[in-house]
Amino acid sequence: MVLIVGGAGYIGSHTVKELHKKGHEILVLDNLVHGHKEFLKWGKFVNADLENIKQLRSIFKKYPITSVMHFASYINVGESVTDPKKYYINNVTNTLNLLNVMIEYSVRHFIFSSTCATYGTPVSIPIDENHPQNPINPYGQSKLMIEKIIEDYSNAYDFSYVSLRYFNASGADQDGEIGEWHNPETHLIPIVLDAAINKRDSIEIYGTDYDTPDGTCIRDYIHVTDLADAHIKALEFLESGEKSTAFNIGTENGYTVREIIEKTIEITKREIKVVETGRREGDATTLISKSTKIKDTLKWEPQHSSLNEIIQSAWNWHKKLNKIE
């Protein structure tokens, strides 16, 4: 049985759906603080918090868990700067609780949701897995700390892991059953879609004086279903006895903020008011992955990550979520 911690969240729920399609036995653990009960469609569910070690022990005792995928974390970079305690307690201490209970119960495989934010300000583009990891905010630090801890754990205990360093997760399930639903929302595509449906007045572009062709930041947008598929391949990789490692997951292509807005206008056929404002603190100019390692090792290829499919699927979901015809 695979335990999916944070399985009621954005990337977790998409991975749960793909695991279910492949016939895996699933247990979702979520405290439903940011996860959505509406996303609990597949497998068994337990409402629990990683803070509670006793509760964790009883779950590992009750269910025949053989692998864990860990999606639950706080992800708001700005908030991590103003409230680092929240990030270190949730993303580090609570993950340590999970790891320690896993080891007590001899659970051997761990798939960890890491991030390109662990690289910090890039010194070279595209970014491969050997790029130095110097995070520039507590969010990225908290993810890197867990990467280091699981490396030490795997050296000392009978335990293997894959850290998946996501670039910009985006898009939604092709069937429209689940999608991106954060509160508050800070990510570009759902905010642009909010502006398209007049839920927000406008989209603010954070900085137009970057050293890029149109002055706005470049990101590597990867469809959430492609991320989900990478998790399943990583799980099979560990189950077949392969060694612990880390992989980037991105498309190796970048789009500017303006390109995202233009494509959204084209797909939604709606007017979107754009306001140009100053830079957001902590934003890197360009983040583009080199994802050769995961392609070669796991035979993974993005299948849904054209900008069209990303924005079309996000739009379909956004309309459904906001009850728009």
Q: How far is the CB of 23 from ligand UFG (least distance, A)?
A: 30
**Contact region for ligand UFG (CB under 6 A) — 171-179, 198-206, 223-231, 296-304?**
198-206
What does the alpha-carbon distance between residue 165 and residue 116 come to, in Å, rounded to a whole number?
5
Least Å distance between CB 99 and ligand UFG?
21
Phi–psi pair at 161, nearest 5 degrees: -140, 160
User: Tokens 């990789």 belong to which residue?
Assistant: 237
Question: What percent helix, strand, coil does the chain show, rounded to 5?
Answer: 40, 20, 40
Residue 43 CB, shortest distance to ligand UFG, in Å, is 25
- Contact between 116 and ligand UFG per CB under 6 A: yes
Comparison of 187 and 319: residue with beta carbon closer to ligand UFG: 187
Does residue number 147 form part of the binding site for ligand UFG (CB under 6 A)?
Answer: no
Q: Let me know if 139 is a catalytic residue.
A: yes
| Chosen residue from 86, 280, 295, 319 binding ligand UFG by CB under 6 A | 280
With contacts defined by CB under 6 A, name the span among 171-179, 181-189, 299-307, 311-319 that binds ligand UFG: 181-189
Candidates 101, 144, 150, 205: give the one binding ligand UFG (CB under 6 A): 205
- Retrieve residue 17's tokens: 């759906």
Residue 75 contacts ligand UFG per CB under 6 A? yes
- Report the DSSP beta bridge partners of residue 112: 70, 163
Q: In the bound complex, what is the minimum distance in angstroms from residue 180's beta carbon to ligand UFG?
A: 10
By C-beta, is 55 or 202 nearer to ligand UFG?
202
Closest CA relative to residue 201, chosen from 257, 260, 277: 277
Distance separating alpha carbons of residues 155 and 25, to the nearest angstrom: 28
Q: How far apart are CA 187 and CA 174, in angstroms?
A: 20
Residue 172 CA to residue 149 CA, distance in Å, equals 32
Burial class (CB in 10 A: 0-12, 13-18, 19+), 76: middle
206 binds ligand UFG per the rule CB under 6 A:
yes
Q: Which of 139, 153, 161, 166 is catalytic?
A: 139
Among 217, 227, 310, 321, binds ligand UFG (CB under 6 A): 217
Q: Which residues contact 222 (CB under 8 A, 6 or more apart)?
A: 166, 167, 168, 169, 170, 249, 250, 251, 302, 305
Strands 255-256 and 218-219: antiparallel
In the list 8, 11, 127, 257, the residue contacting ligand UFG (rule: CB under 6 A) is 257
Q: Is 63 in the site for ligand UFG (CB under 6 A)?
A: no
User: Quick one: 214 or 236, whose CB is closer to ligand UFG?
Assistant: 214
* Using rule CB under 6 A, residue 136 touches ligand UFG: no
Q: Tell me which residues are annotated as active site.
A: 139
Interacting residue ranges for ligand UFG, rule: CB under 6 A: 75, 77, 115-117, 166, 168, 186-188, 191, 203-206, 217, 219, 257, 280, 283, 287
